Structure 1
């Protein structure tokens, strides 16, 4: 306990430095803006801003990117409630009851409960990160190359089980991600692989290039195709009566607690993340409600639970990243990219070698959550006005910003062309119900998996049974196999789809 207190004091001393406070505020503001504006998305924004972090100190860069991630969860609720447009995928569920509340003239309480729920969940999740960080790091130090390989296999299987839609499509996406990670020079011999004698591919595919294409550009094409100029039922009147009544607080308090617990658990699981957490929390509330028919007609629990869950999940997803070096979702995969840019190898060593970085980031989340609740309530009117900017004026600036960002990484025009190509490919994936996130996860983990697989086989002199003779590795592979069997069972598959259909 004393160690935890010492670590938090160190963290706050780092996070409260003027430059880090400013970067935390910038991250929170940009995140809120990204959450509010439909058609940008957290993944695309973090990918866009990766090049900007080159010039920043490593701690500041990660504090800002983390702020964008959890800030977007706050911002997404604003437009979901006011204009029935989810700025973020995590806020899709909030539209069901939030917008109904706004139509009944109760937008104020809905926004307040969303902000209070998010703040509570964010604080609880940050405590969890602080408490679980050190013990998990100690456990992670027991891991050798064989255990790491098995853990990554488990991570990819989780991504398959939790991806919505077809299991086969999720497996295909992961396999494609693993293949893309192998393009370029061989890790040990330096021989060219799958580069087809194209000089620009000799160093492999840039992670930011693929991420920006598959998420950023593809999202823009999808919005233009879907008619982003569709009528928006904009809230014209001033939003008054921000404060929820005592009854609102009584009704929403248990939902906030349940959403926080559910979100915290799902955030830690690889492949889980904030989207699944918000769907699961809403479904759970509806199942246990005395009168489920209230949901979809302005039930305040339908706003409180998913908003708490998505914020808790967004923050607990940092636990596997900081302790094991494994990104549980696409945004965390980009955080791995940011750490690599700054020469930091994610994994259990980070907490021991660079405690200021890890604890500074954890402390900044408390400060960030406080900033967000102060930012969000007074600025609601401004966010609504921003929504009135036509998408046809907004998307060219997003495209230009994306292109500049990609170009500045390697000063290579071919990267911009590749990102455009991946944008078209990403659009095709969306159209055919393939989820792009597992592809990105496969690409990030591919290099690490290959490295650990080779290292294990070198140590064991080519003996494959080493993965099953080491107890920890065998346990992880057994869990992965069991999960895969469950995912393929039709009964569970039906239930899995219901979570996304229900509402």
Structure 2
């Protein structure tokens, strides 16, 4: 009951004119990013991160969260109309959504996607409201040993669930940990890997790293591929689904919502994994699996519900445990750290206006998205006709201006370009940079908690296995490592990622 009282307080914050405006901006930008193939919410949030430096913390998080779950809505539009997923989690929506569009049923497909996302978003936000406070209370029992073990589990889960080679994912983790060590050691005051460059004495900036890897890197890749949009031929009419569409879609949306809520909480999970899992499950439980891939409305409802639910429940580990479950949550953690707020269980107690204002804004944002998306489908379809390469110069200019204005540092702009080049090379080498960003955020926290644990135990490493919670977390981490080494799991994993690509 206390949670709902706090939620009403959150609505008083979320409905303030300024926060309502930022929620609208976030959902609009997110929808636009989702509609336009190639950018994605990860790049968009990385590019817009410097702007949040000048906003109130709650306004910044409301806007960034709106971009994240707004992109899940928008990604379905281009997936259905053009067979081009605007966002990674919308890849599955192409399979049946575009087939419905080719049969002249683009309107019902778009409406089902929007309504399923609305249902999933509201339900997932209720899950956060009910379960986040108890989890945060449990997290207050964690000591440095438990936090270190939890972060180890998060990084290993990111390796298991990363795309492509496990060895490459491990390499990205190690590289991220090394980059997180650059700068001045807090305990000893010694410089580490700064190469005598004064600008690196405080470490590598989170913003140039994130914007370079996910913003500039993607732009270079898309320019190389000559990414142009197809001419859209599909006409959208008769938006309202039929009674048969509703009969088939609501059970699929319900199952997809539950799958998304569960997988969104797991480290390395989130929207993309949820959408693929929901589609696969729906196909297995269907009495007519042959309909899938040929315009089955369930193939639109399930993944769209799952990706939105997964996007929103992925906030739970960040806000309750301080552990970002995926690269996007690492960016959210970066936004909190920019404002001097440490993600974790004390966010609810020390900054209740931020936590509950963000949760309440999710209810408002999901409602805004349905109001925005369905009436403005005509506008989004017109945008899909714009040559995509015209956006690139503007995005690069905004990246450079945004990075420079945070610290007025030319070095940050140079780092942006360096990391942009490496982001492009990682794509060429089929190395997913998301584990690197997770390790970069968690690395300093892991080091700090490792030192504290060793100080508490007077240098005895047995503290990590003698404390029950820490021992369980390390055992689960070891189990994940063993799992990824099993030939059967490796084959399943390879097949899953081949289907995604």
Is the structural similarity TM-score above 0.5? yes
Deviations 1:164-222 (A, max 9, x none): 22111111111111111001111211211111222222221111111111110111111
Distance 1:454 1:360 in 2: 35
Match of residue 394 from structure 1 = 391
Deviations 1:443-473 (A, max 9, x none): 1100110110111111111111111111111
Task: Report the alpha carbon displacement of residue 233 of structure 1 after superposing the two structures with TM.
Answer: 4.3
Residue 421 of structure 1 pairs with residue 439 of structure 2: no
Match of residue 367 from structure 1 = 364
| Matched-pair contact (CA < 8 Å) for 2:106–2:234 | no
| Matched-pair contact (CA < 8 Å) for 1:274–1:311 | yes
| Matched-pair contact (CA < 8 Å) for 2:102–2:234 | no
Residue 332 of structure 1 pairs with residue 355 of structure 2: no
Match of residue 3 from structure 2 = 4
Match of residue 220 from structure 1 = 219
Match of residue 124 from structure 1 = 123
Distance 2:254 2:233 in 1: 30
The equivalent position to 2:286 in structure 1, one of 286, 289, 295, is 289
Residue 488 of structure 1 pairs with residue 482 of structure 2: no
Structure 1 residue matching 2:435: 3-state secondary structure: helix
What is the TM-score with the length of structure 1 in the denominator?
0.97
The equivalent position to 1:322 in structure 2, one of 319, 322, 329, is 319
Unaligned runs of at least 5 residues, structure 1: none
Distance 2:227 2:65 in 1: 28
Task: Report the alpha carbon displacement of residue 284 of structure 1 after superposing the two structures with TM.
Answer: 1.3
Deviations 1:390-435 (A, max 9, x none): 1221110111111111111111112112111111111111112111
Distance 2:37 2:494 in 1: 25
What is the TM-score with the length of structure 2 in the denominator?
0.98
The equivalent position to 2:305 in structure 1, one of 305, 308, 318, is 308
The equivalent position to 2:375 in structure 1, one of 355, 374, 378, is 378
Query: What pairs with 1:231-250 in structure 2 (closer than 5 Å)?
Result: 232-235=230-233, 237=235, 239-250=236-247
Distance 1:194 1:418 in 2: 15
Match of residue 47 from structure 1 = 46
Structure 2 residue matching 1:450: 3-state secondary structure: helix
Structure 2 residue matching 1:35: 3-state secondary structure: helix
Query: What pairs with 1:20-59 in structure 2 (closer than 5 Å)?
Result: 20-59=19-58
Deviations 1:268-325 (A, max 9, x none): 0011111111111111112222222222111111111111110000000000111011
Distance 1:361 1:392 in 2: 34
The equivalent position to 1:272 in structure 2, one of 252, 260, 269, is 269
| Matched-pair contact (CA < 8 Å) for 1:70–1:311 | yes
Structure 2 residue matching 1:50: 3-state secondary structure: helix
Distance 1:69 1:236 in 2: 27
Q: What RMSD in Å do the two structures reach over aligned CA positions?
A: 1.2
Residue 461 of structure 1 pairs with residue 458 of structure 2: yes
Deviations 1:238-275 (A, max 9, x none): x1100100001111111101111111111000111111
Unaligned runs of at least 5 residues, structure 2: none
Structure 2 residue matching 1:298: 3-state secondary structure: coil
